[in-house]
Amino acid sequence: METIKWAVNHMPKTEDSQLKVMALDEVEKARAFHESFPQYSITPLVKLDKMAGRLGLKEVYVKDESYRFGLNAFKVLGGSFAMARYIAQQVGKDVSELPYNVLTSDELRKTFGQATFFTATDGNHGRGVAWAANKLGQKCVVLMPKGTTQTRLNNILAEGAQATIEEYNYDECVRMANDLANKTEHGIMVQDTAWDGYEEIPAWIMQGYGTMASEANEQLDDFGCERPTHVFIQAGVGSLAGAVQGYFANRYPENPPKVIVVEAEAAACLYKGAALGTGELQIVDGDMVTIMAGLACGEPNTISWDILKNHVDSFVAAPDWVAARGMRMLAAPVKGDSPVTSGESGAAPFGALSCIMCMDEYKELREHLGLDESSKVLLFSTEGDTDPERYESIVWGGNSR
């Protein structure tokens, strides 16, 4: 069985200029925007008391994003806020002046007109962008990498977007979508990865993800948890990880929680960068075959990478069986705890946590992280059963492929 790999962060620090992207006032603005949607409700934070005891931890909390806007995943938070900020910029207003009822109004349609939002996705991000475009009366084109399931394609088509599965990997689909946007009148790329020259929209997407971290922090307070001691967060390009790390670094500057980033081993570009130790970006290419479709991204977001290398404690590369283990444990937790329907990418951090706590081969990492009966761990289940057949094959059928 393949083992978990990890790298403690010894990369040289930078000026930390990107941390301001996740400033608390920027996150508050994003959250106010999301709260203006009639579909908005705060997603559950599930406290797993019995599981915490079984794992040898004080408290374990899982933020369940399967309830987000009825879309079964958190990604819509980023795409919708970035689209709103882009429209606000084009009409010369602050995004705080464009809540949902204004963005969907005939008056704004006359002022702004109609744009075509392009994106590449394994499923959740594209579905969120397509949903937001549909609600806001905009057009949307989505390119999906090879290996994408028909279910995920159908979910995007159902939102009225133009969508296709290509014979290329995720990173190549990003380049293709960007080329199409550049060639289309009123075409705009809405992607949750940044590269040199494309950083404004990815920063807005990260701010949108901040809503989830902000909610979780408030919910921890409601449980009487002043702050988490550890945060496990998954990464593909690293946008979500950078957003969560950035939020907590800004929220608790004097005493931040330890953040552990978990990637799919087949696409562990951030882990490889941390293992190299120089701080230089590392890229993974090829097919990146993994059940964690949402994490199958080989080229890091440049904004996030700067935040992560300044603040993250450790980077973990997880084989597929780790995510499958996490899915099963959350679906059938210790008696007395509430189950969480967590998809392949959503359950990877919990799977990694359970292995670190329960397996002797990861004792060194457990001790380095200081995970023990005093630890209060926060995790984010970023998706539910976005592909129900695959979910059942793993949780019921025992597959890990």
Its domain, for residue 388, covers 5-74+201-395
Q: In whole angstroms, give the CA distance from residue 289 to residue 307.
A: 27
Question: How confident is the prediction for the chain on average, in pLDDT?
Answer: 96
Q: What is the mean pLDDT of residues 346-371?
A: 98
Task: Give percent of the chain above pLDDT 70.
Answer: 100
Q: Please check whether residues 157 and 206 belong to one and the same domain.
A: no
In a domain, 220, yes or no: yes
Q: In whole angstroms, give the CA distance from residue 109 to residue 94.
A: 17
In a domain, 379, yes or no: yes
Q: Please check whether residues 55 and 189 belong to one and the same domain.
A: no
Q: What's the pLDDT band for 76 if we cut at 50, 70, 90?
A: very high
In a domain, 65, yes or no: yes
Catalytic residues, by residue number, are: 75, 122
Q: Which residue has the tokens 């970035």?
A: 82
Instruction: Decide which of 196, 220, 255 is a domain's last residue.
Output: 196
Q: Is the confidence at residue 401, as pLDDT, over 80?
A: no
Q: Please check whether residues 120 and 149 belong to one and the same domain.
A: yes
pLDDT (0 to 100) of residue 209: 98
Q: In whole angstroms, give the CA distance from residue 236 to residue 30.
A: 22
The encoded tokens of residue 180 equal 């199409």
Element (H, E) at 176: helix 170-183
Q: Is 241 exposed, middle or buried (0-12, 13-18, 19+ CB in 10 A)?
A: buried
Q: Which residue has the tokens 């919708």?
A: 80
Q: Please check whether residues 183 and 238 belong to one and the same domain.
A: no
Q: In whole angstroms, give the CA distance from residue 143 to residue 162.
A: 9
pLDDT (0 to 100) of residue 396: 96
Length of the chain in residues, anyone?
401
In a domain, 116, yes or no: yes
368 and 131 Cβ atoms separated by less than 8 Å? no
Residue 185: alpha-carbon gap to chain centroid: 30
Q: Please check whether residues 67 and 89 belong to one and the same domain.
A: no
Q: Is the confidence at residue 123, as pLDDT, over 90?
A: no
**Nearest Cα residue to 344 out of 378, 388, 287:** 388
In a domain, 400, yes or no: no
End-to-end CA distance of the chain: 13
Q: Please check whether residues 155 and 87 belong to one and the same domain.
A: yes
Q: Please check whether residues 365 and 240 belong to one and the same domain.
A: yes
In a domain, 401, yes or no: no
Q: For the segment 187-205, what is each residue's pLDDT rounded down to a tens digit?
A: 999 998 889 899 999 999 9
Give 355's DSSP letter: H
Q: What is the mean pLDDT of residues 263-281?
A: 97
In a domain, 163, yes or no: yes
CATH of the domain at 12: 3.40.50.1100
What pTM, to 2 d.p., does this model score? Answer: 0.96
Distances from the Cα of 294 to the Cα of 55, 283, 359, angstroms = 27, 17, 26
- Residue with the bigger pLDDT between 326 and 124: it is 326
Q: What is the mean pLDDT of residues 11-40?
A: 97
Q: Please check whether residues 178 and 287 belong to one and the same domain.
A: no
Q: Long-range contact list for 186-190, CB < 8 A, 24+ apart? A: 186/113, 186/114, 186/115, 186/116, 187/115, 187/116, 187/118, 188/86, 188/115, 188/116, 188/117, 188/118, 189/117, 189/118, 189/119, 190/79, 190/82, 190/83, 190/86, 190/117, 190/118, 190/119, 190/129
Q: Please check whether residues 41 and 15 belong to one and the same domain.
A: yes
- Residue with the bigger pLDDT between 287 and 378: it is 378
**Nearest Cα residue to 329 out of 341, 311, 315:** 341
In a domain, 253, yes or no: yes
Q: Please check whether residues 83 and 182 belong to one and the same domain.
A: yes
Q: Please check whether residues 222 and 173 belong to one and the same domain.
A: no
Q: Please check whether residues 301 and 382 belong to one and the same domain.
A: yes
Q: For the chain, how many structural domains are there in total? A: 2
Instruction: Decide which of 196, 225, 248 is a domain's last residue.
Output: 196
Instruction: Decide which of 160, 176, 196 is a domain's last residue.
Output: 196
